[in-house]
Structure 1
């Protein structure tokens, strides 16, 4: 039996010969029998665990858990941080919405305060560098400094040369400044977000990650969906973090998890999940249902950067609109149309009509970050997903991108015949067909039950709070067995303001003129 003296930061461990042999300087006292007093530290905890003692993680007793007011860590987050801070390698396989980002920052902060780590490198998808990781550092551990390492090679080198506690870089940025990162021995902790980006073991990216991680004392990986396509997806990820848990040859791991049907076709073995689980250790896995502190529906804003063309076009529209309000050129009758155009630019697909032309065509702007984030969020979901796009012309671009990334899906809009819609909804709800449905929300805002999905992604805001509420209700039905996650993509002030109005149940067009006049879009 282990006892923790929290005030003195020591453990009372049975004073058996094996313990005294490993801790000869331990003081023996009469406490619940003869007990040896051992410091409750990272190294001593690991040694005692190796001896078979169930020693709680020091972070659970000796950390102040910084957090914004009213947002203390969930129990699942505390247990996740406990795993990370007692293992030099580890996998966080928690569902999206359970707060994995905060766990990684708390774990590093604890290790740094304990003198076990100096600097952290976060390797994450491009779309999350500023709005997810940068903002979380500011909110959760504001006493730590950070820098986003992005740009051409020269700029990355300059940013990396700055003295910070946390460096944040995109996945492919590793290959740009790999030598510099390997040489930085003070960067002794690496956290890879969306580890599945490294699932192909023989790519340049995977090899770069392996080279980087091999020389770092701490390295962890995070993903809510470790095997999105097949069990062999785990191999490349393990080669990065825990190469000793998988065979040296990919073909051996493939044979352990897959059965060959034809010359070019393999299917998963019945015990494939168990094999993957043994390989991806140590690990922690919590679902949304495990986090009892969460409400039944988690609504999460997702900040996403706009591309250069998007930003320039948006700013031109905004400045012109604000000026025209002052001159009376924009009235209540057409202010909504101007806002609508700004929202189109924000999501990256804009209707345009050339002079003299009879039909409009769609211009696709540089919305790569938004599309990348969409693939990431769908991939991280352990169940099905509904993607709502507020403009019909955007559906095709989204669908094409999902097809390119081999995500089986269906697309539904106003032109989809009723019989075809019913077929799609039935297959989605009752079979394994379709990972996602991409739809205009007005086509799915009443009567349809789609509880096979537990995640809704709004690619951009709709103009009606009734449609917004009804569309979200497709997964909030009595047959729903899981907690639900609603993600609100937003890259502009117009989108942010629109979502606020939806949540406040205000008609989108109400007060649009005031928004322009007050420069709030």
Structure 2
């Protein structure tokens, strides 16, 4: 973790959004991934708590984000580091314990929202709601939407019919966060805006919304926006929404850490694997060859699979694949460039995402990417060297596996972060906390990747292990 930032280091657009939220009890911030939406929300929460405008805050997001992002984000800022976050996960008993734990913010994943509404019934205690990725509420017919606004959820053979009374009117302040409010079109907006104004701007129900701004096509069985629809809709919701615009010239770049949480068995296996490899080097003079072999093994483990001495692949986990899938879902149709490190990474990526395309030296691949025809492009940093222009095709890079090579790291990032890029570039790093991943990223950030640096890191790992074992 770098130095703790001060409130004065918020970007101008972030502070403007904080001011906007203070004036607008129910509002949406539409901003790209990595643009600092969490910092905006946390600053707003601090302000509201200081002014006694709110008492209990609930954050809704994905399971990984509520476990790995929200609990750590307050510590990044001087003015929010005192904020405590209690993730509501696990068994029902564990969730109840997390709810009862004293905290400034309680955070729950979308899938457990229905359970939470049923648990509290008429005694709903949260007077502020932050929906981190509000496109999860784009469907007006989803159970989670009905749980908030009230409505009937039909039962199945194994589940009874439920009629939710609705908790929306008990929540005084609502903040919606997303970079893709309408991933598949304007129809996706209605349910999200309804959470803010109960239909005052876009219609009291989805039928009214469709009839006013869309035409039905009986041949495609779909709804097409009328010519004036987008401008009209945007004007109607502009008072409760803020959009963080893209940038001209050289793009701004946001570096984002996406943590994957090893479950206990995997964590124990990593520790055992690391100790075994480190102890092999305890009594020898450590050379570059030793360092390369060790770090390769540890990096492979973090990615999810390891080669043995005969080049057989041993699968360990799919946590980074799961995190990548979540990033792709949140991109909502935007193309994503993925950097991999090992051939078994590529094989597992292709298996999980069979429609992905591997970057090669065929000019057509570059043209198709820049034309928006490739949703997921997978490349090795060595295949993404100078002269490859990919900035027209997307603005999101995901480092599935890291490299010690600063040159390769910078070259890969520069494929999108270059002149002509029309949007902020988001560079995600998939990291397993407490593993070699964090050491590599720290070295890359310091711009000091040398053989001596790598050796020093290996020696530090051995020293840490020996101290731990005393």
When the two structures are superposed, what TM-score results if normalisation uses the length of structure 1? 0.74
State the shift of 1:359 in Å: 7.0
- Which range moved further: 222-231 or 252-261? 252-261
| CA spacing shift, 1:425–1:212, aligned 2, 3 Å | farther
- In structure 1, the residue matched to 2:454 is 510
- Tell me the distance in 2 between the aligned counterparts of 1:69 and 1:329: 44
**Is 1:68 matched up with 2:8?**
no
**Is 1:233 matched up with 2:188?**
yes
- Mapped contact 2:124–2:167 kept (Cα < 8 A): no
| CA spacing shift, 1:163–1:481, aligned 2, 3 Å | closer
- Tell me the distance in 1 between the aligned counterparts of 2:346 and 2:215: 36
- In structure 2, the residue matched to 1:423 is 364
State the shift of 1:192 in Å: 0.6
**Is 1:90 matched up with 2:27?**
yes
Matches within 5 A, 1:448-463: 448-452=388-392, 453-463=394-404
Larger radius of gyration: 1
- Tell me the distance in 2 between the aligned counterparts of 1:254 and 1:310: 49
- In structure 2, the residue matched to 1:15 is none
- Mapped contact 1:213–1:219 kept (Cα < 8 A): no
**Is 1:437 matched up with 2:359?**
no
| CA spacing shift, 1:516–1:114, aligned 2, 3 Å | closer
Matches within 5 A, 1:165-244: 165-181=104-120, 183-210=122-149, 211-244=166-199
- Tell me the distance in 1 between the aligned counterparts of 2:315 and 2:38: 35
When the two structures are superposed, what TM-score results if normalisation uses the length of structure 2? 0.82
| CA spacing shift, 1:438–1:308, aligned 2, 3 Å | farther
- In structure 2, the residue matched to 1:18 is none
- Mapped contact 2:71–2:84 kept (Cα < 8 A): no
Deviations 1:348-399 (A, max 9, x none): 344468xxxx8734626141652344225533x8x64322122232234335
- Tell me the distance in 2 between the aligned counterparts of 1:175 and 1:97: 28
- Mapped contact 2:255–2:426 kept (Cα < 8 A): yes
| CA spacing shift, 1:71–1:85, aligned 2, 3 Å | closer
- Mapped contact 1:451–1:479 kept (Cα < 8 A): yes
- Mapped contact 1:321–1:516 kept (Cα < 8 A): no
Higher relative contact order (CA 8 A, sep 6+): 2
Deviations 1:416-459 (A, max 9, x none): 5x33xx21210221x23223422222222232101112232212
- In structure 2, the residue matched to 1:287 is 245
| CA spacing shift, 1:375–1:132, aligned 2, 3 Å | same
- Matched position secondary structure for 1:82: helix
Aligned length: 436
Q: What 5-or-longer segments of structure 2 have no aligned partner? A: 150-165
- Matched position secondary structure for 2:87: strand
State the shift of 1:402 in Å: 4.8
- Mapped contact 1:126–1:170 kept (Cα < 8 A): yes
- Matched position secondary structure for 2:454: coil
State the shift of 1:94 in Å: 1.8
- In structure 2, the residue matched to 1:371 is 324
- Matched position secondary structure for 1:133: coil
| CA spacing shift, 1:366–1:153, aligned 2, 3 Å | farther
Matches within 5 A, 1:90-489: 90-140=27-77, 141-181=80-120, 183-210=122-149, 211-244=166-199, 245-255=201-211, 256-257=213-214, 259-260=216-217, 262-274=219-231, 276-278=233-235, 280=237, 282-289=240-247, 296-328=252-284, 332-351=288-307, 360-361=312-313, 363=315, 365-367=317-319, 369-379=322-332, 384-402=335-353, 410-412=356-358, 416=360, 418-419=361-362, 422-429=363-370, 431-452=371-392, 453-489=394-430
| CA spacing shift, 1:396–1:71, aligned 2, 3 Å | farther
Structural RMSD (CA)? 3.2
- Mapped contact 1:412–1:443 kept (Cα < 8 A): no
- Tell me the distance in 2 between the aligned counterparts of 1:144 and 1:70: 14
- Tell me the distance in 2 between the aligned counterparts of 1:321 and 1:330: 13
- Mapped contact 1:307–1:366 kept (Cα < 8 A): no
- In structure 2, the residue matched to 1:39 is none
- Mapped contact 2:63–2:109 kept (Cα < 8 A): yes
- In structure 2, the residue matched to 1:494 is 436
- Which range moved further: 368-377 or 98-107? 368-377
| CA spacing shift, 1:271–1:315, aligned 2, 3 Å | farther
State the shift of 1:221 in Å: 0.8
- Tell me the distance in 1 between the aligned counterparts of 2:306 and 2:255: 27
- Tell me the distance in 2 between the aligned counterparts of 1:125 and 1:136: 15
